[in-house]
Chain A
Amino acid sequence: MAIQILMPALSPTMEEGTLAKWLVKEGDTVQSGDIMAEIETDKATMEFEAVDEGVIGKILVAEGTEGVAVNTAIAVLLEDGEDASATADATPAPTEQAPVEETPTVSTPAQAIASVDIPMEDIPEGTTFTSTTVREALRDAMAEEMRANEKVFLMGEEVAQYQGAYKVSQGLLDEFGDKRVIDTPITEHGFTGLAVGAAFGGLNPIVEFMTFNFAMQAMDHIINSAAKTLYMSGGQMGCPIVFRGTNGAASRVGAQHSQCYAAWYAQIPGLKVVMPYSAADAKGLLKSAIRDPNPVIFLENEMIYGTSFDVPDLEDFTVPIGKAKIWRAGDDVTLVSFGIGMKYALEAADRLADEGISAEVIDLRSLRPIDYDTLINSVKKTNRCVTIEEGFPVASIGNHLSATIMERAFDYLDAPVINCTGKDVPMPYAANLEKLALVTTDEVMAAVKQVTYR
């Protein structure tokens, strides 16, 4: 029986890739372990090895084909004694559904979110835009700031020679050399403390955590050493440092790699905390973070690294820390979110519009300081609010926003504020349970229906 060779998933979040090159041709005999093809993902080009032995009966996807979905049949392998006619049985095979395929109402993260109704504040008229992934925007921000200030350097695990575990620092080693793009040993507590010392010593470190889950090992230096020293020194000793990296759930990586730390860091005086959603905000906020004289926690999300957004073609585009952005104006309800939560907020707003509910969508972008005024002014207009985030529900950002709205706009509320959050459980591995543990657009829809009494 001929064996279908399927497009492999080469990372937890990969949904499609480019079949860059075939290294075998039809009629070749392959052994298990032979390299058959090179496959390019948004992170890297990887070799694809044969698992079974046999003869390549037919190549179904030509080299150079882009956007080949995971699990698409790309070739047929003939077993001993079979001939090419056996491939007829194998060819048509519909693409198998990936187990984490999302519901039809939810767009895939690889697609650009419609940007028609996104106002780009403070951008001169006539500015052109380039569609850029969040990943590229982050890299561009670091590169621009490193060009502008030689005290800025990047340090972390696999940031240099490997080009970044998530390819965010791609190309930086080539441009800036190993003095300024530094691979560290796996030693979060140590290199975080070292970077804090370098900041005290007058440098401007960017520390990349492969994920913020690993930064728990370095928590003492982030909080006790970086955030508190300015105060404890009576204003003498500042710590201009950026801690950045992926935060929150990726896909199927289990409880220890999936936590959102937004609420944790947002609690600490002495830190600034930002969590961008779009590529433009990622770029503009990271540039501001690098220039900031204070320690800045910069929370990214692996699931949106590959998402493209329009980024203005400006020589020096920055976004101020502490300023929220209204993505779309609306009258019936305020949806407030940040980071990947914006994906659910915007999708819900689209669907609500179809049902005649006009939602105002606010991206906080910064979680310390929080732009309370933008939120409160919106709630005073809409009289209803739903908060959306992926983190745990207890002592969440949404809880804090609810309390603030109650204090500052109680008389304007026509319904209690509802917090849509991740569930109060360690992240499960099983695909169906993981989906259940995360906040969904459906939950946002249900919350809006509740606060609008529909």
Chain B
Amino acid sequence: MAAKKPAQKTNTSGEELIEHYKKMLMIRRFEEKAGQLYGMGVIGGFCHLYIGQEAVVVGLEASAKEGDSRLTSYRDHAHMLACGMDPKGVMAELTGRSGGYSRGKGGSMHMFSAEKRFYGGHGIVAAQVPIGTGLAFAEKYNGTDNVSFTYFGDGAANQGQVYEAFNMASLWKLPVVFVIENNQYAMGTSLQRASSSPELHTRGHAFMIESEAVDGMDVLAVKEAGERAVAHCRAGNGPYILGVKTYRYRGHSMSDPAKYRTREEVQKVKTERDPIDHVREMLEQGKHATTEELKAIDKDIKKVVSEAADFAQTSPEPSLDELYTDILR
């Protein structure tokens, strides 16, 4: 991880920075609460937290427009919150309740929103990559200028189907932004131990796909890269790859003992490169928000998350006849 960057002066407005800050903080507080509820046994199964990676999805969502689609892996809570899905519905899905986005039948890894064009939530590593490419195929077929944001991790980047998708996306010039969220560990296997080349953004070169490496701890850098990618896709130039370097603070899932990295390594990223601290510093230095205003934001978010957690625990379990619904249309 590169050394800590000074807070930059940019053309970004204070208002926009505050929006980024709110969304990133919402994700962090939501994930912290999810971790807590998991520890209490309220959330079952697998639960993969996004803490540390917030700048990636928030930066990219800032480059999206109405009608764009997005999908990702099983580490998906943040993507839903960032595209505007209701924290209550997400949290209630984590607890397996009828108020969840999948009425309790999908769980943490399998959530969808037709309304927000969030296409999952995929539990099979890299399966979302051809599917996201297919969403882009539909955009082209229908003659829209919408794009598909297809997120996957550094682990998924070694799956064969990613390259099958790259080939078709480039061959047919499909409007898909491939976002490789490189959090540097595929479960417990570091990038160095799994990848013959650490430069994941170059993985599309053999397919003539334009790409760039992005600092995923800097929301503005992500947003700017996202805007370049999206403009490329909307103009009909085919896919674009963003190799976004980020870091996950928590374990792969809740049951991860994290023996594969040192506590010092994690601590160093937290203190030197935290994506939310970075935005807060910009806000303070640019005098876009007072300490009181930031505190108020924090309070508001805590309230929303707390309400989501209450809803997720009071929403009833799905009725038993739900067992046999939604198998076929």
Interface residues of A (CB under 8 A from B): 153, 179, 184-185, 187, 189-203, 220-221, 224-225, 229-238, 269-270, 272, 293-294
Chain B 22-75 residues near chain A, CB threshold 8 A: 69
Known: A233-B112, A272-B328. A193 touches B127 (CB 8 A): yes
Whether a CB of chain A sits under 8 angstroms from the CB of B119 is: yes
Asked if residues A231 and B168 are in contact (CB atoms below 8 Å), the reply is no
Asked if residues A234 and B102 are in contact (CB atoms below 8 Å), the reply is yes
* In-complex Cβ contact of B134 among A201, A220, A233 (8 A): A201
Q: A236 contacts which chain B residues (CB < 8 A)?
A: 101-102, 112-114
Asked if residues B131 and A197 are in contact (CB atoms below 8 Å), the reply is yes
Task: Kindly provide the distance from the CB of B148 to the nearest chain A CB, expressed in whole angstroms.
Answer: 8
Known: A190-B130, A224-B123. 5 other contacts (CB 8 A): A189-B160, A197-B135, A234-B102, A235-B325, A235-B329
Asked if residues B131 and A224 are in contact (CB atoms below 8 Å), the reply is no
Task: Kindly provide the distance from the CB of B66 to the nearest chain A CB, expressed in whole angstroms.
Answer: 16
In the complex, A369→B165 CA distance in Å? 33
Whether a CB of chain A sits under 8 angstroms from the CB of B191 is: no
- Among A153, A184, A194, A272, the most chain B Cβ lie within 10 Å of the Cβ of A194
Whether a CB of chain A sits under 8 angstroms from the CB of B186 is: no
In the complex, A304→B299 CA distance in Å? 70
Asked if residues B100 and A234 are in contact (CB atoms below 8 Å), the reply is yes
Q: B134 contacts which chain A residues (CB < 8 A)?
A: 193-201
Asked if residues A230 and B106 are in contact (CB atoms below 8 Å), the reply is no
Asked if residues A230 and B135 are in contact (CB atoms below 8 Å), the reply is no
In the complex, A232→B119 CA distance in Å? 11
Task: Kindly provide the distance from the CB of B45 to the nearest chain A CB, expressed in whole angstroms.
Answer: 13
Whether a CB of chain A sits under 8 angstroms from the CB of B294 is: no
Known: A192-B130, A193-B129. A269 touches B106 (CB 8 A): no
Indicate the size class of the contact surface on chain B: 35 or more
Q: B132 contacts which chain A residues (CB < 8 A)?
A: 197
* CB<8 Å pairs between A and B, sample of 9: A185-B168, A190-B130, A195-B134, A198-B134, A229-B120, A230-B329, A232-B110, A232-B120, A237-B114
- Among A224, A225, A231, the most chain B Cβ lie within 10 Å of the Cβ of A231
Bits for B92-136, please: 1 = Cβ < 8 Å to A, else 0.
Answer: 000000001111111000111110000111111001011111111
In the complex, A189→B110 CA distance in Å? 21
In the complex, A234→B136 CA distance in Å? 24
Listed stretches B6-14, B138-146, B212-220, B234-242; interface member: B138-146
- Among B111, B112, B124, the most chain A Cβ lie within 10 Å of the Cβ of B112
* In-complex Cβ contact of B137 among A194, A220, A233, A294 (8 A): A194
Task: Kindly provide the distance from the CB of B65 to the nearest chain A CB, expressed in whole angstroms.
Answer: 16
Asked if residues B133 and A194 are in contact (CB atoms below 8 Å), the reply is yes
Task: Kindly provide the distance from the CB of B327 to the nearest chain A CB, expressed in whole angstroms.
Answer: 5
Closest to A271 in B: B328
Whether a CB of chain A sits under 8 angstroms from the CB of B167 is: yes
In the complex, A311→B137 CA distance in Å? 35
Whether a CB of chain A sits under 8 angstroms from the CB of B264 is: no
Task: Kindly provide the distance from the CB of A42 to the nearest chain B CB, expressed in whole angstroms.
Answer: 32
- Among B111, B134, B142, the most chain A Cβ lie within 10 Å of the Cβ of B134
Asked if residues B127 and A197 are in contact (CB atoms below 8 Å), the reply is no
Task: Kindly provide the distance from the CB of A231 to the nearest chain B CB, expressed in whole angstroms.
Answer: 5
* In-complex Cβ contact of A293 among B69, B103, B130, B329 (8 A): B329
Asked if residues A201 and B168 are in contact (CB atoms below 8 Å), the reply is no
